[in-house]
Amino acid sequence: MHWVGTWSSAQQLTEPANRPPAPGLSESTLRQIVCVSQGGARLRVRFSNEYGDAPIAVRAARVARSIGGSRIDPGTDTELTFEGRASTTVPAGADLLSDSLDYALPPLARVAVSVAFGETPKAVTGHPGSRTTSYLQIGEGAHMDALGSASTTEHWYFLAGIDVLADSSSAAVVTLGDSITDGRGSTTDGCDRWPDALARRLRENAATSAVAVLNQGIGGNAVLSGGLGPPARQRFSRDVLAPSGVRWAVVLEGVNDIGASHDLSVVGNLIDAYRGFIELAHRRDVRVYGAPILPFGGSQYDSVEHEAARQELNRFIRTSGAFDAVIDFDAAVRDPRRPSWLLAEYDSGDHLHLNAAGYRAMAAAIDLTLFSQ
């Protein structure tokens, strides 16, 4: 038996526009809903204060099955403890794992993690692109069946991961990316990003039913520098290699670097970064699958120079042999009549991000035998 991540979110310093709404986190209860991939009979939860400027005071924390909105199934509601205590403090700059607990967690379940806070930092660690509604109510309500007077927000705060105890056949694939992996254009509360659709396909396929999916996309993220959140080159070890039970990684990132570039030198720098990812991963026996950059014709990034950079980078991904395999999302979602554009039926409207149908098409294009190797 070993620990395997069943859900994750890549952490960053929350921008001012995405900070918690009133009444704020301090002296309030936050209920966050997540869609896990693998199930198990024992779990633990990770909280992060990586970017905090003060400790997080946790007065109570609980896990339960979500049954819609802020409501939980009371028969599944269970207390989380920390070194045997119901309350704890997460120091500034640190992560904290709960104690493990017996818990019947079905695969592909929607899980509510409820935390009653004392004082919290002004600098909030979190994941703005949750595409999922969270519920925030003043006072201690972690045990409540529903938070009837809660404010809502489509962000996650402090919640970094859930692990399950699984047998040796279980392992996780990490999807490293930007807003396309984070799911911009997907349905709020729909759990229909492409990693979600991949998790369902893996579960339905007997040979890969024990493979979990960890989504480590960050909207606006870049590989090299700039963008939102720590660049992928900086966060690769944290987000790809550190989670429990990782055996594979899918890298779909670089469009924001191309979009911010002024010449083709960005391609060489991205290739160097990819080679670095592969080297680090192989040292840990993690296989790395490369994905060509998707079309962005008609978007804010559309230009002759940027399309030339995309094509050159995609040639490297497809033909260099540097990656252990290639997952060609580009071929799956481009318009065959205009290959530099997304197929209209998959376009969310901004010609850069996909809709739920497009994300399903991406997941459907993945050869599942890659995750039985």
pLDDT of residue 373: 76
Same domain, 80 and 208: no
Residue 139: pLDDT band (50, 70, 90) is very high
Percent of the chain with pLDDT over 90: 99
Task: Tally helices (H) and strands (E) across the chain.
Answer: 8, 22
DSSP line for 30-84? EEEEEE-SS-EEEEEEEEE-TT-SS-EEEEEEEEEEB-STT-B-GGG-EE--BTT
CB atoms within 10 A of CB 322: 16
Same domain, 56 and 155: yes
**Average pLDDT, integer, range 360-373:** 96
Same domain, 158 and 174: no
Instruction: Indicate the burial class of 178 (C-beta count within 10 angstroms; 0-12, 13-18, 19 or more).
Output: buried
From 261, 237, 258, select the one nearest 249 (Cα to Cα): 237
Residue pLDDT, tens place only, 14-73? 999 999 999 999 999 999 999 999 999 999 999 999 999 999 999 999 999 999 999 999
Same domain, 95 and 26: yes
Q: Which helix (H) or strand (E) holds 255?
A: helix 255-259
Same domain, 228 and 352: yes
Domain's final residue, options 132, 162, 192: 162
What DSSP character marks residue 293? P
Residue pLDDT, tens place only, 204-243? 999 999 999 999 999 999 999 999 999 999 999 999 999 9
Same domain, 178 and 317: yes
pLDDT of residue 123: 98
Please provide the average confidence, as pLDDT, over all residues in the chain. 98
Range of the domain at 89: 2-162
pTM of the predicted structure, to 2 decimals: 0.97
pLDDT of residue 32: 98
Structural domains in the chain (count): 2
Look at 1 and 349; give whichever has higher pLDDT: 349
Quote the CA–CA distance of 67 and 108 in Å, as a whole number.
13
Same domain, 229 and 133: no
CATH code at position 229: 3.40.50.1110
Domain's final residue, options 162, 189, 207: 162
Quote the CA–CA distance of 131 and 348 in Å, as a whole number.
14
Domain's final residue, options 162, 185, 205: 162
Same domain, 77 and 34: yes
Same domain, 158 and 202: no
